[in-house]
Chain A
Amino acid sequence: NAGVMQNPRHLVRRRGQEARLRCSPMKGHSHVYWYRQLPEEGLKFMVYLQKENIIDESGMPKERFSAEFPKEGPSILRIQQVVRGDSAAYFCASSPSSGANVLTFGAGSRLTVL
């Protein structure tokens, strides 16, 4: 049973380009969460999604950032027109559909903006 799979593990973009980060939750998990971790800082919640629905996006920047979790395929975090301040590790976590459960994290995608 594979864990939470994130790709790419490392991504380098130039300012103004787009970054797409993908997350496949654990088998049987239908809740996905995205967190951002800046160097020397804690994990900051960005967005919480279920299949085809955004449940809570209170942590998402108002511009340039979007997330989706389609009926088929992985969840995608999309950052348009990246800036240097977007350089961070982006972690995805998933949990089962019922009850309140532990979040299982993926290994993260490290975005570097040149």
Chain B
Amino acid sequence: GQNIDQPTEMTATEGAIVQINCTYQTSGFNGLFWYQQHAGEAPTFLSYNVLDGLEEKGRFSSFLSRSKGYSYLLLKELQMKDSASYLCAVRDKGTGANNLFFGTGTRLTVIP
């Protein structure tokens, strides 16, 4: 099976930097994804890591350590519109090739 853990809630200040951590356990790791989900809307893809290291995409970066079963999503220069849930998901080789298993999500609140 898969086990994915991330904090339930976080609060950060506009303009600041926030790091959202995710730890996972899976028998056949085949990639880690971060999605953003605003309340009542579809999850939207943010980033994908399959090799160790940092992937940077504008204000968002994602890091992966496969040996530690650990990832984080880094958001820089926070904006009010970044208030959303951030979902960590892993893909497992043992299931359908593209199937993703999600954590419960981290609800980020950005305050002025």
Contact = CB atoms under 8 A, between A and B. Distances in A.
A106 B97 CA distance: 20
Contacts of B96: 48, 55-56
A95 interface: yes
Given A55-B96, A102-B48, A107-B41, A41 B101 contact: no
Given A42-B103, A44-B102, 20 more contacts: A31-B98, A33-B100, A35-B102, A41-B104, A43-B43, A43-B87, A45-B101, A45-B102, A55-B96, A58-B95, A91-B42, A91-B43, A100-B30, A100-B91, A102-B33, A103-B33, A104-B45, A105-B42, A107-B41, A108-B41
A101 interface: yes
Q: What bracket does the count of chain B residues touching chain A fall in? A: 20 to 34
A79 to B, nearest CB: 20
A105 B45 CA distance: 9
* Range for the number of chain A residues in contact with chain B: 20 to 34
Contacts of B95: 48, 56, 58
B13 interface: no
A105 B41 CA distance: 10
A5 B104 CA distance: 24
18 contacts: A4-B42, A31-B98, A33-B99, A35-B102, A42-B87, A42-B105, A43-B89, A48-B96, A48-B99, A55-B96, A56-B95, A56-B96, A100-B98, A102-B45, A103-B33, A105-B42, A105-B43, A108-B41
A95 to B, nearest CB: 5
